[in-house]
Each structure stands twice: as structure tokens, then as C-alpha cells.
Amino acid sequence: MWIFGYGSLTWKVDFPYQQRIVGYIKGYARRFWQASIDHRGVPGKPGRVVTLVPSEDPEEKVWGAAYEIPPDKEGDVMDRLNIRERRFTDRKSLTMYSPGGQKLSESVLVFLGSKQSEFLLEDAPILTMAKQIAESHGPSGTNSEYLLRLANFMREEVPQARDDHLFQLEEAVKKILAERTDDKVTQTENC
């Protein structure tokens, strides 16, 4: 069994695996349209985490990392993921490709976000999403950490790949965080 991660599973793996492979799936777009009220936000002030949405382009790529689960650990890993990814109720088996375009696996399990209205934030202007991400935090940490770690994964492990949505959000969140730091310094100096 293979699990494909395209969000926090690219950098935060808390289950045993035999091997990890970086690659992509096709026909989807990664978007910060899923509400997080249990990891990167709280009820009433949700964070934004990624989900996959069908792309109009069947060749569009979403890069991530796949993990081969040892057969004797499949049940335990699925139990753990069913808790961790409980808001990601739709699951699909998709084909994964190597950076060179070869099929790596005909069947990687992918968790897709909930279609329940309370968890589906959908699209918004980049600045609106960035403000929400910059302000949100939950039991797993800040929402901005989630975004920045995902952007780091992309830069370090697949520097040839493009993800305009991710990198535009990263730039906007970094700007907001820098302005806050500058404001705090100014307030401290004025005291």
C-alpha cells in the first residue's frame, strides 16, 4: 500500500514506512480551500490547509511524496491516518509519476478534503487567504508554519515544479508576518 501526501504529509510523517518517493499525480490542483479546526485553526477561527480539486487540465500536476507502508503495518497506519485526516473524507486511488514522467505506481491512496460546507472554504483573493493563514493557529501549530513548510518541500525536493497558488500565498503571508514584526519593533521602540 502506498499513501500519497501533498500537504503536511510531505514533511510531517508520524507512521512507519518502507520507502519514500517524491513524484506527482495528474488532473488535480492543490488549493488552500480546506478549513482546519483541529490542527491549524480552531472552531470559529479555522485555518486553511490544502485539498485537491479537479483541474480543467488533465495534465496538471500536484507534487508530493508517497510512502510505501509495510504490509504488517497497513491497519495501524490507516487507523492513525483516519484520525489525523478525519476531515479528508473522500479517498481515491490514483496513478503516481516520477519527476521524469514514468509511472511509479498505478495505485497510491490520496485523501481529499471534505465536501461538507463547514470545511470547504473554496476560493478567495490571495490576500484574504494569506491574512487568514497568517492569523490562524491550532493544536498542531501556526497555519503559516504549515504553508511555509509545504513551500520549502517544493523548493528543496522539486525545484523544477511550479505551484503558483502556493508560492503566491507564501509571498503574501511572509509580507504580512514581516509587517507584524516591524510593527512590534516600532511599538517596543516607542515604549
Give me the active site residues, please: 85
Helices 143-157, 126-135: crossing angle, 10 deg rounding: 110
Coil, helix or strand for 113?
coil
* Three cell numbers, residue 28: 488535480
Sequence-separated (6 or more) residues with CB below 8 Å from residue 21: 65, 66, 68, 96, 98, 104
* Alpha-helical regions (H) of the chain: 74-84, 126-135, 143-157, 164-190
Helices 164-190, 143-157: crossing angle, 10 deg rounding: 130
Sequence-separated (6 or more) residues with CB below 8 Å from residue 191: none
